[in-house]
Each structure stands twice: as C-alpha cells, then as structure tokens.
Amino acid sequence: MAAGFPSRAGRMVLDRALALLLVVALGFLLPRFMPGDPVELQRASDLDLGLAAAQRETLRQEMGLGGSLGEQFLTYCAALLSGDLGFSVAHAAPVSQVVAGALAWTSLLVLLAFPIYLLIGPWLGIESGLAPERPLGRGLLVGLSALGSVPPYAVSILLLWLLAVAVPLFPLGGAEALLPPADPLVRIAGVLHHAALPALALATHEIVRFFFLSRGATLALSLRPFVINARARGIAGWRLRVTYLARSLAPVLAGRLGDTLAGQFSVVLFVEIVFSYPGIGLVIHEAIRARDLALLQGAVICLAAAILVLNALLDGLAGRLARRG
C-alpha cells in the first residue's frame, strides 16, 4: 500500500494536469468561436470616434488576436507558462489583478456556504432517515423536494425579497457597506453580514442534495447490525447520530464534495448577479458580454485550477476516510 501511494498520487496529479490543459485549450478556443468582433465590441458607446486601421490592428494584437489561431495559441501558452494571464483592455488592468479581486469574494461565499450545507443537509437527512414514516421525516422529505425543484436563480430572488426587502435583515447587495468602517472587526462583521444571504442562496441546493444523500444512506445504515445493536443497547440522540451515522456517512459526503464545489462555482454566477456580489461569476458574465477574451480565458483557467486542486484534495480525503472505514 505504501508503495502504491506515490504512483496513485502521481496519477492523480497527471490526471488533473491533463484536465487543466484541456481547460486551457477549450478556454482559448471557445470564445474565439463566439459571434462578433471583440475589437469592435470594446467600443461600448456610439460616441466613440472609432478606430483607424492601424489602431484597430494594434488593439487586436493587444487582445491576443494577432496572427493565425495556432500562433495565437502558442503565444498565449508561452505567456501562461511565464505566469502572465494577459491584459484586459476593457478593464485596463492585468487579468490576474481582476481575477484575484473577484475570486477572493467568490471564495468567501463558497467557504461560508460550505458549513451551511454540510451541517444542515446531513442533519436533516439523518432525521428524516431515522423516522421516514413519522410526520417530521415525511415533512422534511416533501419540503426539501419542493425546495430542490426551485432553480437557484429563483431561490436567490426569493431570499432577497424575503430577507432584504420584506423583512430588511440583510443588505440588498454588494460585498460591504458603502462606506466601510475603520474598525477592522466591525468591517469584518459587515462583510459577513453582506455575504450571509448570498451564501445561504448558494447553499440551498446543496442542502437538498446532501439531505437526500444522507437520508438514503441513513435508511440503509439503519438496517446494518451495528446500528441495530446500538439502538437495542439504548444508544440514541446525539451519540447515535454523530458517532454511528454521521461518521459512517463521512466518506460518502466527502466523495460528493468534489462535485459539489464544481457545482458551487457554477451556481455562484446566478447568485452574484442577483445580489450584485463582486465575484468571479459577475466578471465572467461581463467578459462574455464585452468579448473580453483575455479576461474570459484567465478567469476560466483560474477557476478550473482552483476546482481541480480542491477536487484533488477532497478526493484524497474521501479515499482516506473510506480506507479508514
């Protein structure tokens, strides 16, 4: 087993590297097949006086669109290997700077959503699985089935209306107060206050997923001898749920986390639009609209790299938990 570990780790790294390479290629190619001239679409207003031919060509070069497709790809890869993600003409800033600023906010949402769905989903699933025929178990099943059928965009709007408009407990949007306070602790509290509702919206669908996963597993575990014995010995409540059920569920849940995180970064696009949250979703959305190819490529690659790294870590964790039993 000890001898197998390096090769397993090596394969994992190789798989992820190949996946990243594929993302780089797709991230480079796909935007170039979108209709429209990226140079022309930089001119966001008809007041713009237009470009002379030479200026147009210069801008085309700056946007990485000079030469053949193959030359463009080689230039892009060479720059990428030297750590240069390119320059966003629309933002007048290096892509790395724009992406880093946005990715930080998205990461905060994803991190805050993480404990919400990881605690609430399995907790409710275990409750429903332990008492599938009782009102609580059935009520949870019906309620969460209904919640799962609502698209993330609609959930975000519903939460915004309910908790920021009808009952204004949370801010309407943005990542922090218009005039952030000087006290760092107060400022952090303000940032969390702003992130709470988008994080809840982001977590909602995963709560449902983890609920069903945990409910099904609990139903199966309830028939296993070690759980039957434990219940016969009078073990119940917190101990039964945590020591016997949740621990057994851990590898299954960890195995699903990799997929969940990738999904979170997709759903976050809708959440960020609804809550005007300044994350990577909004950046990608605007980059597509403005045909900001450099930014689009950079954002997709950074996002993919982040997901692949997290995925690898979670895969490793799931494997360890499974081997531990």
Q: How far apart are CA 121 and CA 114, in angstroms?
A: 11
Q: Do the beta carbons of residue 87 and residue 95 sit within 8 Å?
A: yes
Residue 179 burial by Cβ neighbours in a 10 Å radius (0-12, 13-18, 19+): exposed
Q: Select from 71-79, 176-184, 295-303, 314-322 the region that touches another protein (CB under 8 A).
A: 176-184
Q: Chain-centre distance of CA 234, in angstroms?
A: 42
Residue 94 host element (H or E): strand 93-94
Give me the sign of the Cα torsion angle 216, 247, 206, 125: positive
- Name beta bridge partners: 94: 87
Instruction: Tell me how far CA of residue 308 lies from CA of 50, 126, 202, 313, in angstroms.
Output: 42, 30, 20, 9
Taking CB under 8 A as the rule, does residue 145 contact another protein? no
Residue 45 in the binding site for another protein (CB under 8 A):
yes
Q: Give the footprint of another protein on residues 152-171 (CB under 8 A).
A: 164-165, 168-171
In angstroms, give the least distance from the CB of 125 to another protein.
14
Q: In this structure, what token pair is assigned to residue 191?
A: 């940032």
Q: How wide is the angle at C-alpha 136 spanned by C-alphas 135 and 137, nearest 5°?
A: 95
Given 75, 96, 97, 222, the residue binding another protein (CB under 8 A): 97
Which residue lies nearer to another protein by CB, 168 or 225?
168
Tokens of residue 22, six digits = 């594929």
Q: Is 183 in the site for another protein (CB under 8 A)?
A: no
CB 282 to another protein: min, Å: 8
Q: Which of 79, 80, 96, 123 binds another protein (CB under 8 A)?
A: 123
Instruction: Decide if residue 174 touches another protein (CB under 8 A).
Output: yes
Q: Site for another protein (CB under 8 A): which residue of 102, 254, 294, 318?
A: 102
Q: Which is nearer to another protein, 89 or 321 (CB)?
A: 89
Q: Do 118 and 210 meet the contact criterion of CB atoms below 8 Å apart?
A: yes
Q: Residues 224-253: x/- map of binding to another protein (CB under 8 A)?
A: -------------xx---------------
Applying CB under 8 A, the span of 11-19, 22-30, 47-55, 65-73 interacting with another protein comes to: 47-55
Candidates 26, 273, 312, 317; binder of another protein (CB under 8 A) is: 273
Q: Which stretch binds another protein (CB under 8 A): 132-140, 144-152, 227-235, 278-286?
A: 278-286
From CA 45, how far away is CA 191, in angstroms rounded? 34
Position 105 contacts another protein (CB under 8 A) = yes
Asked if residue 111 binds another protein (CB under 8 A), the reply is no
Residue with smaller CB distance to another protein, 34 or 74: 34
Minimum distance, C-beta of residue 64 to another protein, in the bound complex (Å): 14
Q: Which stretch binds another protein (CB under 8 A): 13-21, 30-38, 67-75, 147-155?
A: 30-38
Give the tokens for residue 195.
Answer: 């992130």
Give the binding-site size for another protein (rule: CB under 8 A): 65
CA distance 93 to 111: 27
Task: For residue 58, give Cα distances in angstroms to 54, 63, 86, 151, 176.
Answer: 6, 9, 15, 44, 39
Residues in the chain: 325
Pick the binder of another protein from 141, 291, 299, 310 (CB under 8 A).
Answer: 291
**Helix (H, G, I), strand (E, B), or coil: what is residue 324?**
helix
Residues that bind another protein (CB under 8 A): 34-37, 40-52, 55, 62, 87, 89-93, 97-98, 101-102, 104-105, 119-120, 123, 164-165, 168-179, 181, 189-190, 192-193, 196, 237-238, 273-276, 278-279, 286, 289, 291
